[in-house]
Amino acid sequence: MNKTDNPNEESTNKDRSTAIPKEETVQSPHDRLLNQTLQQIDAARTLLAKHLPSEVVEHLKLHTLAHVDTSFIDSNLRRRFADRLFSVQVSDEVVQSMALKTNYVYIFVLVDHKSTDDPDTLIQMLGYIVRIWENALASRQSLVPIQPWVIYNGVGPWRSSRSLAELIPVLESWRRYVPALELAILDVSRMSDNEMVGNPNLQVTLTLLKYGRGKDLEVILRSLFEWLLEELSPQQARNLLDTIRVYVMSVNPIVGEEKMSDLVTEFWPVQPEPGSVADQLIKKGEAKGEARGEARGIALGKKLASIKTIRILQSILDMPESQDEEFADKSVADLDMIIETLRAKISNRPRMLDE
């Protein structure tokens, strides 16, 4: 491989949807939220530019940042974390000074989704890195540097070892024979609000990771919605609100479905879109000659609210969302039964120790 070869050339020439394996299992709402954001290369680029250690960033050509397929990583390793692997070019000066065979390096973003820091993270990260190098050797590619990076949003500060030297004490005379690894950790929970910069998706993600589990989330959401109202079109906001709603419903026991719906409606009054469920229900009622008035409005509102709740619960369970036509002949009572069934599934899910 010459120095201009991209170690991810095959995957970058494919449709972007193939760069992130479908079978990758996300283990927590925090993972889902950050992974959705990192799938957007502009948001990922801004995150690295603003928050990766400066001594690393100064040598990177971030405009070349691209996703790398991680499907080759063993499933028993991959399922531990919501990982993101990126390739990016380093400066020509670095290539020349270190006589690198390629001008690409890997940035490995590891999302720590635990409520407390994990003393095993160093060993697990090392396993990931070795697996990436093994895959490169098997593919007859050059070995390239890998910069590991942990994004952590635990309630308490990170207190576990950040380097193998801390984790595994060795004699000073032995150090040259023992592998060394030190983790760069972005502690989102202790970031200042002024540091949460970037495009709207990235700013929303960092804000939710920091405040999502807090008792003052309603106040934070109001401030966030006021900002989004100024920054985004209604359609752009609507797409982002779905992500916010699912995350909040998954992690915050204080802001419930009703409060969340009230907050959204306060800033973005609901109006039926042409061809939407609401639009179809209204037209169906008019075709049957149903009486117009308050009673009809209340019934319609209940049905739409139930449909919205079903979709939220399906998202939390990682289920495909039901399509509009599936609700056309359902009564409010039918929808309530579906809601109860979904809630029971959520209640019966095995609780994860690290969430």
User: What is the model's pLDDT at position 2?
Assistant: 44
pLDDT in tens, 158-176: 888 999 989 998 899 998 8
pLDDT in tens, 58-105: 999 999 999 887 776 666 555 554 567 888 998 888 888 887 778 888
pLDDT in tens, 284-327: 545 554 444 445 455 666 777 788 788 888 887 778 888 777 77
pLDDT > 70 in the chain, percent: 76
Report how far residue 178's alpha carbon sits from residue 204's, in angstroms, rounded to the nearest whole number: 41
Contact present, 107 and 86 (Cβ < 8 Å): yes
Is the model's pLDDT at 352 over the cut of 50? no
Which has the closest alpha carbon to 222: 252, 259, 249, 256? Answer: 259
What average pLDDT is seen over the chain? 77
In whole angstroms, how far apart are CA 296 and each of 128, 324, 331? 57, 20, 13
Q: How confident is residue 115, by pLDDT bands cut at 50, 70 and 90? A: low
Number of CB atoms found within 10 A of residue 337's CB: 12
Q: Tell me the β-bridge partners of 117.
A: none
The 3-state DSSP composition of the chain as helix, strand, coil percent (nearest 5) reads 55, 10, 35
User: What is the model's pLDDT at position 273?
Assistant: 59
Going by their DSSP bridges, the two strands 146-152 and 104-112 should be labelled as: parallel
Write out the H or E segment, with its range, that includes residue 111. Answer: strand 104-112
Write out the H or E segment, with its range, that includes residue 87. Answer: strand 82-90
Report how far residue 221's alpha carbon sits from residue 245's, in angstroms, rounded to the nearest whole number: 11
Q: Which one of 107-116, 244-253, 277-286 scores highest in mean pLDDT?
A: 244-253
pTM equals 0.66
Contact present, 155 and 114 (Cβ < 8 Å): no
Contact present, 240 and 204 (Cβ < 8 Å): yes
Boundaries of every domain in the chain: 9-202, 270-348
Total length of the chain? 355
Residues 6+ apart with CB under 8 A from 294: none
